[in-house]
């Protein structure tokens, strides 16, 4: 059994990670924390000229920031939970909802926060949570 949780550094994602840790502990299953790194380098042809200015070094920096954020969030959640759950950390790239859905293809549960770092703070449910709930192949828990 596997529980997959999306981690983006937002308060709802922290709540989702804590909830997923508790759920994995209760189920006696593995937990996979996934952080999705954006792909500005893919915007060159489709999204305008900015992608052309993203160097290999900038890409490495984005990936390092993603790994660092993921490690820090998992460490903090593990410390708060008493360190009882082992967490696999996975870095993916691309559109967040698609990357999380792909990561959870063989999972028993996908957990996401109700909203992340999107631009519409007034929304109750963010677009990633909406897409995951609508298209998940396994049960999806949206944690507020």
Cβ neighbours for 66, distance < 8 A, ≥ 6 positions apart: 35, 36, 37, 91
Rounded CA separation 84/66 (Å): 24
User: CATH number of the domain at 2-143, please?
Assistant: 3.40.50.620
Spatial neighbors of 9 by CB under 8 A, at least 6 apart, are 69, 73, 117
In this prediction, residue 101 carries a pLDDT of 97
- Count of other CB atoms within 10 angstroms of residue 43: 16
Distance of alpha carbon 30 from its chain centroid, rounded?
Answer: 16
Structure confidence at residue 40 (pLDDT)? 64
DSSP state of 121: T
- pLDDT at position 47: 47
Residue 127 is predicted with a pLDDT of 87
Give the pLDDT confidence score for residue 54 in this predicted structure: 67
pLDDT tens for the chain, 144 residues long, are 899 999 999 999 999 999 999 999 999 999 999 999 977 655 444 444 555 566 778 888 989 999 999 999 999 999 998 877 889 999 998 899 999 999 999 999 999 999 765 544 544 567 899 999 999 999 999 998
C-alpha–C-alpha distance, residues 103 and 106, integer Å: 8
Question: Considering only CA atoms, which of 112, 140, 138, 119 is closest in space to residue 35?
Answer: 112
The per-residue pLDDT for 89 is: 98
Q: What is the DSSP string of 84-103?
A: -S-EEEEEEES-HHHHHHHH
User: What's the full length of the chain, in residues?
Assistant: 144
pLDDT at 51: 54
Per-residue pLDDT at 122: 46
């Amino acid at each position: 059994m596997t529980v997959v949780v999306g981690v983006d550094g937002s308060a709802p994602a922290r709540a989702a990670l804590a909830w997923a840790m508790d759920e994995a502990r209760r189920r006696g299953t593995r937990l996979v924390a996934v952080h999705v790194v954006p792909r500005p380098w893919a915007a060159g042809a489709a999204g305008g000229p900015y992608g052309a200015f993203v160097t290999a070094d900038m890409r490495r920096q984005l990936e390092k920031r993603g790994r660092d954020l993921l490690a820090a969030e998992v460490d903090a959640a593990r410390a708060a939970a008493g360190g009882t759950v082992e967490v696999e950390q996975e870095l993916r790239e691309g559109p967040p909802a698609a990357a999380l859905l792909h990561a959870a293809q063989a999972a028993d549960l996908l957990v996401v926060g109700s909203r992340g770092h999107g631009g519409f703070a007034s929304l109750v449910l963010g677009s990633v949570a909406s897409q995951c709930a609508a298209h998940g192949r396994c049960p999806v828990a949206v944690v507020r």
